[in-house]
Amino acid sequence: MTIDELTSLGESQSSVILSKSCTLLPREGNPEPRYCDLPHGSINSMGLPNLGYQKYGEFAPLLKKYNKPYFVSVSGLSLADNIKIISDLSDIQEIAAFELNLSCPNVIGKPQVGYDFNQTRQVLGEVMRITKKPLGVKLPPYFDFAHFEEMAKILNNHKISFVSCINSLGNGLFIDADSEKAVIKPKGGFGGLGGEYVKPTALANVRKFYELLRKDIAIIGVGGIATGRDAFEFLLCGASAAQVGTAYQQQGTAVFARLEKEFAAFLEKKGCHSLDEVKGKLKTINN
């Protein structure tokens, strides 16, 4: 969220710097506690705290020296806000791409766009017209083949560059039986789940979209990646890159060097010399 955090990403072994999802105006976000580590992951209801989109534009030249792509995540509270943010930031050369967040589960009164197919169609129709930069979308998890198919049909009609699957599994509830309380304060304790809890759902979403999307739409796998072996599983399902949320929150930027090392060691143990040998090559049980 801050320039210090983005700078540490620059200095880390991550291959990309991705900003916190930004809105038109700065936001404090929801009341604390709004994030909690759990035995197998995390729950959050941050409510989009961020410095406002202009700051993420101003940071772009400061991050250039790290020589890695800087992606700005955009989560405007309305279509008009998304259009304003993306068109203003499109003039900034040092921004490599936008990740349009269609799936923040934590703002009261703002249902996740990605669960409303008509709204998604409208947003993409308008937004794709206003930028020449690569644009991808961050999707919520889907659970029904009909929904995967409907979303894939919409995405295949647009020149999007990538999808990030999945955002947090929305509106879980984690409670402490001793205190008889929810562990986070906003929304009566409801929040987005991340980490190990969501990995099978994330793998399923990556796999399904890999089957259904045009091959030029890259998939960024996200959801419970904490080891090199996890990253390999996402590659098998068809992901071209990995995004790390909960493990980064828990371990800081050192997680990227560890993941890279473990991933390389895992590939070597398998005797793999290129990612294409593995990407999307998940086997199923056929006898």
Active site residue 36: no
Shortest distance, CB of residue 249 to ligand DHB, whole angstroms?
12
* Closer residue to ligand DHB in complex, CB, 47/195: 47
Inter-residue contact 198 to 221 (CB < 8 Å): no
Shortest distance, CB of residue 118 to ligand DHB, whole angstroms?
21
Of 233, 231, 236, 219, the C-alpha closest to 255 is 231
- Contacts with ligand DHB by CB under 6 A lie at 21, 45-48, 75, 101, 103-106, 167-168, 192
Shortest distance, CB of residue 110 to ligand DHB, whole angstroms?
10
- Sequence-distant (6+) residues with CB within 8 A of 59 are 3, 6, 19, 70
Beta strands in 102-179 (DSSP E): 135-139, 162-165, 169-173, 175-176
* Closer residue to ligand DHB in complex, CB, 48/135: 48
* Closer residue to ligand DHB in complex, CB, 74/267: 74
Taking each continuous run of H as one helix and of E as one strand, the counts in the chain are 9, 13
* Closer residue to ligand DHB in complex, CB, 60/104: 104
Catalytic residue among 104, 165, 237, 272: 104
Distance between CA atoms of residues 59 and 53, nearest Å: 10
Shortest distance, CB of residue 286 to ligand DHB, whole angstroms?
37
Of 25, 83, 65, the C-alpha closest to 49 is 25
Of 215, 276, 193, 202, the C-alpha closest to 242 is 202
**Which residues are known catalytic residues?**
104
